[in-house]
Amino acid sequence: MSEWKSWGKSLFIAIGVTITVRTFFFTPYIVEGSSMEPTLHNQEKIFVEKMPWNDHFNRGEIVIIDGKEEFYVKRIIGLPGDLILMKNDQLFVNGVQTKEPYLTENRKEAMQIGNRLTGDFGPITVPENHFFVMGDNRLYSMDSRNGLGFIKKEDIVGHSQFVFFPFTDIRNTK
């Protein structure tokens, strides 16, 4: 009977640690849809850092957003107070052209079909405690431009860290 108590205690501790880690530190997330291709692909599984003391977000970071009815994975383009302008497929943040190397493949594809990857918009100012986000697959992304609007800081679940499945394509998402 003592051995059963020992096993039960070990199992109880393991479950407690797992629940704590998933709730407060890291959680897996399944990418749904093509809005972040080619950076992230449909049905890939990523680890998301949810550290409550790491609520500082940087421009260019991939984050998970709690949209109340569903979750979204997007890239932060504008921080609180930023002035965002998109003109001739070039992003300007606070008047400075911003390089977006993660868009190279999609930009080529858009040119081949005679389109711009990102339509012109702005200038718009990101409100305090909000973020402006877009998907990397701009032709097929619902984001701050067209449905999600500005994202409240408290609606950001965490930072994407790395793809862990499929195992043949494990990689960092930073």
Distance CA 58, CA 87 (A): 22
Does residue 174 sit within a domain? no
Does residue 162 sit within a domain? yes
pTM for the model = 0.84
Question: In the annotation, is 10 catalytic?
Answer: no
Q: Which of 6, 9, 34, 74 is catalytic?
A: 74
DSSP 21-84: HHHHTEEEEE--SSTTTTTS-TT-EEEEE--TT-----TT-EEEEE-SSSEEEEEEEE-TT-EE
CA triple 37-35-173, angle to 5 deg: 50
Backbone angles phi, psi at 90, to 5 degrees: -120, 130
Residue 54: predicted pLDDT: 58
CB neighbours of residue 2 within 10 Å: 6
Backbone angles phi, psi at 164, to 5 degrees: -115, -5
Question: In the annotation, is 35 catalytic?
Answer: yes
CATH code (residue 119): 2.10.109.10
Does residue 21 sit within a domain? no
Task: Show the domain range for 98.
Answer: 29-166
Distance CA 40, CA 32 (A): 10
CA triple 59-61-64, angle to 5 deg: 125
Give me the tens of pLDDT residue by residue for the chain, a chain 174 residues long: 678 877 777 777 777 666 665 555 678 889 999 999 999 999 999 989 886 655 689 999 999 999 888 999 999 999 999 999 999 999 999 999 999 999 999 999 998 999 999 999 999 999 999 999 999 999 999 999 998 999 999 999 998 988 988 888 888 887
Does residue 69 sit within a domain? yes
Structural domains of the chain, count: 1
Handedness of CA 98, 102, 104, 106 (dihedral sign): negative
Q: Which of 5, 9, 10, 35 is catalytic?
A: 35
